[in-house]
Chains A and B, each alone.
Chain A
Amino acid sequence: MKYLAQQAINALQLGSIYALIALGYSMVYGVLTMINFAHGDVFMLGAFFCLLLIALVPVPFWLALIVVMAATALLGTLIERFAYRPLRKAPRVSAIITALGCGLVIQNTTLGISPYARPMPRLLENATYQFGGVTITMLQIVIIGVSLGLMLALDFLIRKTSFGMAMRAIASDRAMVSLLGIPANEIIAITFAIGAALGGAAGLLYGMAYPVVSASMGITVGWKAFVAAVIGGIGNMRGAVLGAFILGSVEVMTVAVLPSTYRDLISYSLLLLILVFKPYGLLGKPALHKA
């Protein structure tokens, strides 16, 4: 029982990080029906930005989080503005290739600057707490807490604010959004910024939890989050979070009973299995109307 509770905390930690990244994939898909394949690499850069920042000025965790989120938000906006927006009317395959290309450019630039994996310095005190024999670290509390806080903030933003309504409206009919006097391009740019900021936060948190930062993180971790978004139903925010926690749990459980080399086999098999029965993902719906 204790063992199970311990594993549940691990699953919650991994799931939270996957969820933050998956939301970025899902948000962008929601407004542009496009997979932003560079998103995993923005996540990776979140961790590297943190390394860089700490090397320059030793800042506390909260400040590092804010700076990293701002930096990745800016990066996400730039990618949208200069790589994707010019291709808005181009064939979809061009946008996909551009996204993959952006990801590879970011990844290989990072690899050029930092060819080896780097350790992440400690940003938080190494405190642990006991709850009925179950150990939870300060780090785990912060990771899960920050992730949930960001997710709730995003949920509020999407459901209750005019910006969120415009974002959902763009998913339904972008041309109509402009006819109401709403600057659709700005909404799309802000969507990218928020998605990238969440990805950057996830990069920082992941770097703290599994304290090795490498240029290939975008693929090994970022693509898992993409899988999570698809399992939940890409374009659906709550689905992305659900998919992330399912994937996180399955991975943690797999590693608990099987050699860790089976982890990816199981998670990708889960993706295939879910898609056979729920082709739009768990909470996804076929598009009613796409303009």
Chain B
Amino acid sequence: MTSSAALEVDQLEVCYGGIQAVRGISFSVNPGEIVAMIGANGAGKSSTLRAIAGAVPHAGVIRIDNQVIRTTHPEEIVRKGLSLVPEGRGIFANLSIEENLRLGAWTNRSNYDMNLSKVFGLFPRLKERRNQMAGTLSGGEQQMLAMGRALMSRSEILLLDEPSMGLAPKLVREIFAILRDINQAGVTLLVVEQNAVMALRLAHRACLLELGAITLSGTGTELLENPKIRSAYLGH
């Protein structure tokens, strides 16, 4: 079966030693699209992203550019053009900012200088502090570094796990504005968020994950207006 989707997930299941975190979900992300996945803690959002990134074993079918992914080696997924910015950002605190970015370019070392200046263009604050240890950055700057580092691989699909976590509202807006820029530059985004308003406003399409299953899906606007979402996730 072939389709035009950049990422396609069919009957995905993820188990952690007998506990089923994801119970047969299916969705797809088209090239150039922003898809948001919202839901409460423990709904299976992170597990879905981790399975796609090859960090945890899965059942069901994952296709990246129509290629079925079976590996559990995350490094092979990055080579296929998909990167995950994990929850907690995973920056290397004991390395400088530029060293972090350089490691992001591991799979794509050609045009390093050009990619670096693109990332510094998106995140001027990182450029100012390029030789500083990443551990000294604030939470927002660490999120920027994690995103910039993932972009260094020139991945076509970027998965982001809770990019707004622990950030002040102003910074959250800033991060989401940059996500829109990244998308407009041609990168396909799958964003997992607890901050439903921001995520749904950003996304072209979105889905709600509850207890490991997709219970609602539609355009971002549709979900924003859905009464169930409004009462449970937006506090209206």
Residues of A within 8 A of B (CB): 162, 165-166, 168-169, 171-173, 175-184, 288-289
Contacts and interface: CB of A to CB of B under 8 A. Distances in A.
B55 A179 contact: yes
Nearest to B76: A181
Nearest to B104: A180
A288 B93 CA distance: 8
B106 A179 contact: no
A172 B89 CA distance: 13
Contact of B74 (A165, A166, A173, A178): A178
Contacts of A180: 75, 78, 83, 103-104, 106-107, 149-150, 153
B73 A177 contact: no
A178 B78 CA distance: 9
Interface in B16-33: none
A184 B102 CA distance: 16
Interface of B: 53, 55, 73-75, 77-79, 83-84, 86, 90, 92-95, 99-100, 102-104, 106-107, 109, 135, 149-150, 153
A169 to B, nearest CB: 4
A179 B95 contact: no
A176 B142 CA distance: 14
The CB with the most chain B CB atoms within 10 A, among A166, A173, A176, is that of A176
A179 B84 contact: yes
Contact of A173 (B92, B102, B104): B92
B83 to A, nearest CB: 7
B79 A179 contact: no
Contacts of A177: 103
A147 B8 CA distance: 55
